[in-house]
Structure 1
Amino acid sequence: MSFLTLSHIKKAFGPVQVVHDFNMSIEKGEFVSFLGPSGCGKTTILRMIAGFETPSDGSIVINGKDQTSLKPNQRNIGMVFQAYALFPNMNVFDNVAFGLKVAGKPKAEIKARVEEMLKLIHLEHLADRYPYQMSGGQQQRVALARALAPAPQVLLLDEPLSALDAKIRVSLREEIRQIQRQLGITTVFVTHDQEEALSISDRIVVMNAGKADQIGTPSEIYSKPTTRFVANFVGTLNVVEAQVREPASGVVSIADHVLVLPKPLDGKKAGDKVSLAFRPEAASLAPTSSSGTLKGTVISSHFLGSVVRTKVDVQGSTIAFDAFNDPNNPPPISGQPVAIQLNPEGLMLLAE
């Protein structure tokens, strides 16, 4: 049985429909990320779960109890914001203790719980510091501890890492995931950063114009996108036009390159045009003398550390492919003729 259920959620601000009939069930202890561009409705859904916004229609149920009409302070939910939102006049101890004091907990219980939370985020040595004396990453850890201190039934994270620099962002997202697993708390995370969502989520909701285009595991979202939007938004995607040769056998041709797709092309006939998509890792360099390869000219090569991404012009279409960095084998240079081999298992047929 699901722990957090969103049923037929809708939200309109005046004439503008921001969320359209959203449905989802989240299991207890699951880490779910809402991923999408600005204005897609992901933060609005988070705010409705928190109680800061009221759905125009639909219901929100947590642990079997309808929360839809409850105020934020009646929902037992912890929330971490992008801008930390720490109290500047309180030190770290008092910031973390705030929710417990409001709840009227005994002093001894508050002290023990705050010490437990500070140990969890590895900042017990900074209990007496004030927010202005701390780095952004440290402040966000304190905000996380403050949200967790009252033992909420659900933790909500609204783009908590976007204000931090890249290295801190990576380490803190891993720390958040580790703490979430340790506590087993049901967590909803909102982000526009696909790498964040892919790296730490149990499931991802890809939002587009107020709707969930796809809900799935990170592997499903990346490797088996069900819509053109998801395929383009998550990761780098190459799209090429192909011609159907033998639909029952899944045989298509891209220029002079003949491919057999993993599945038959139902509903297609010989001569039809189809759009094929593939990730950069589904293509590789081949000897220029190889038959059945795509011939092209190198546009550019970009050194990305462990990976080199090369872009190639193939009859007017730009194709990007990745190769592991090999110090003894320099990447191709601009203007160099190359041949590209495609892995049929990595090809996706895009719906028109």
Structure 2
Amino acid sequence: MSDQFLSIRQVRKAFGPTVVVQEFNLDVKQGEFVSFLGPSGCGKTTMLRIVAGFEEPSVGQVFIGGKDVTRLKPNQRNIGMVFQAYALFPNMTVAGNIGFGLKVAGKPAAEIRSRVAEMLELIKLPDFGNRYPYQLSGGQQQRVALARAMAPRPQVLLLDEPLSALDAKVRVSLREEIRTIQKELGITTVFVTHDQEEALSMSDRIVVMYDGRAEQVGTPFEIYNRPATRFVAGFVGTLNVIEGTIADPAAGVVTIAGGEISVGNRVAGRKAGEALSLALRPEAIALGRREGRDGLVTGTIREVSFLGSVIRVRVDMGGALVSLDTFNSPASPPPVAGERAEISFSSSDMLILDR
């Protein structure tokens, strides 16, 4: 545990007969940004509240900086927390909100003023100290909430879906700012979200949660490209699922959409005629033959959606409807629905899903 700053050991949480977190283990390094990602009800916010001290685990332990904080109250562990709702004090100025935790801790007035000024610079609102929350936009209010959480220099920063109430453009801007500030301060951060794009773009590592468990822990690259379970494969990113049949397990030959592809030794030990599910990301499929791609299937274009820089094409592949993405080019008109088309892919990009 010596090289880990935040450690969660065998945590389980039940409310009566309902278990909401089970067998949860995680080690987070100093300065690491880790996201809990999953659908509503998967236990991610409950796990965050256990780290914060707002909930006590039924079983298990939480360590911060090597210290067991499992039974300590929130104000007894050095954490900062930012909630989905801004939760700013409406009767206090921006400066008053940011300095509130320092004032409660009994810090000298000069130190509070200095730290508040430092935080206002950090969140790019240096001249907003005398304003009140109602005079700020949603994005500005959330920046102030972030500054308030960081002002007392917490050991761990906890963010509970802080961007979900903002519009899309502000969310993108603010998530970049949060990540920049987090790196600058080197603060250990746990971020809860149901938005996969946020998790993929901001995190050093992601914990994908489902039914109270950590389904997979890994870098964004690992989670997206090497999903460990069918749930992770389907939840993170867009996925085409294609049903196939094993033709020759020894040779690794699988039949899909009336054609055969080779998946190497990934079906070794299974039976000929056995059904299996395979998956491909849209960006792994191309229209037409491509050099170096060993998978080739003919289908019918059913739908073409213009999305600006990308055109999403849906192709009927012998009853399996798959989506693929191709870049928009002003010199090349998009394909037309109803046309026959060849699509190509590399069998090495195919994921074999556990049925």
Bin for the TM-score computed over the shorter chain: over 0.9
> Which residue in the other structure is 1:174 paired with?
176
- Inter-CA distance 90–343: structure 2 relative to 1 (3 Å threshold): same
Deviation at 1:173, TM superposition (A): 0.3
Deviation at 1:150, TM superposition (A): 0.0
Given residue 2 of structure 1, which amino acid in structure 2 is its aligned partner?
Q
Q: Tell me which of 236, 239, 247 is aligned to 2:238.
A: 236
| Secondary structure of 2:107's aligned partner | coil
Q: Distance in 1 between matches of 2:107 and 2:68?
A: 26
Query: How many residues matched?
Result: 350
Q: Distance in 2 between matches of 1:306 and 1:267?
A: 44
Instruction: Check if 1:210 corresponds to 2:212.
Output: yes
Given residue 278 of structure 2, which amino acid in structure 1 is its aligned partner?
L
| Secondary structure of 2:175's aligned partner | helix
Given residue 335 of structure 1, which amino acid in structure 2 is its aligned partner?
G
Superposed CA RMSD: 1.4
> Which residue in the other structure is 1:186 paired with?
188
Listed as ranges, the matches of 1:301-312 within 5 Å are: 301-312=304-315
- Inter-CA distance 262–123: structure 2 relative to 1 (3 Å threshold): farther
Q: Distance in 2 between matches of 1:248 and 1:79?
A: 54
- Inter-CA distance 263–200: structure 2 relative to 1 (3 Å threshold): farther
Q: Tell me which of 332, 349, 352 is aligned to 2:352.
A: 349
| Secondary structure of 1:199's aligned partner | helix
Give TM-score, length-normalised by structure 2: 0.96
CA contact (8 A) 2:35 2:190 kept: yes
Deviation at 1:21, TM superposition (A): 1.4
| Secondary structure of 2:127's aligned partner | helix
> Which residue in the other structure is 1:195 paired with?
197
| Secondary structure of 1:89's aligned partner | coil
Deviation at 1:142, TM superposition (A): 0.3
> Which residue in the other structure is 2:88 paired with?
86
Deviation at 1:345, TM superposition (A): 2.0
> Which residue in the other structure is 1:51 paired with?
53
Deviation at 1:292, TM superposition (A): 6.4
Q: Distance in 2 between matches of 1:292 and 1:302?
A: 24
Moved more, 40-49 or 253-262: 253-262
Q: Distance in 2 between matches of 1:157 and 1:262?
A: 43
CA contact (8 A) 2:37 2:206 kept: yes
Q: Distance in 2 between matches of 1:339 and 1:166?
A: 36
Q: Distance in 2 between matches of 1:247 and 1:153?
A: 53
Identity between Structure 1 and Structure 2 (%): 63
Give TM-score, length-normalised by structure 1: 0.97
CA contact (8 A) 1:206 1:230 kept: yes
Instruction: Check if 1:293 corresponds to 2:296.
Output: yes
Deviation at 1:257, TM superposition (A): 2.5
Listed as ranges, the matches of 1:1-352 within 5 Å are: 1-286=3-288, 293-352=296-355
- Inter-CA distance 207–291: structure 2 relative to 1 (3 Å threshold): closer
CA contact (8 A) 2:257 2:320 kept: no
Moved more, 151-160 or 238-247: 238-247
- Inter-CA distance 292–89: structure 2 relative to 1 (3 Å threshold): closer
CA contact (8 A) 1:284 1:321 kept: yes
Given residue 344 of structure 2, which amino acid in structure 1 is its aligned partner?
Q
Deviation at 1:291, TM superposition (A): 11
Deviation at 1:262, TM superposition (A): 4.8
Q: Distance in 2 between matches of 1:11 and 1:319?
A: 40
- Partner deviation per Cα, 1:285-319 (whole Å, 9 max, x = no partner): 116xx996322222211222221111111222110
Deviation at 1:250, TM superposition (A): 2.2
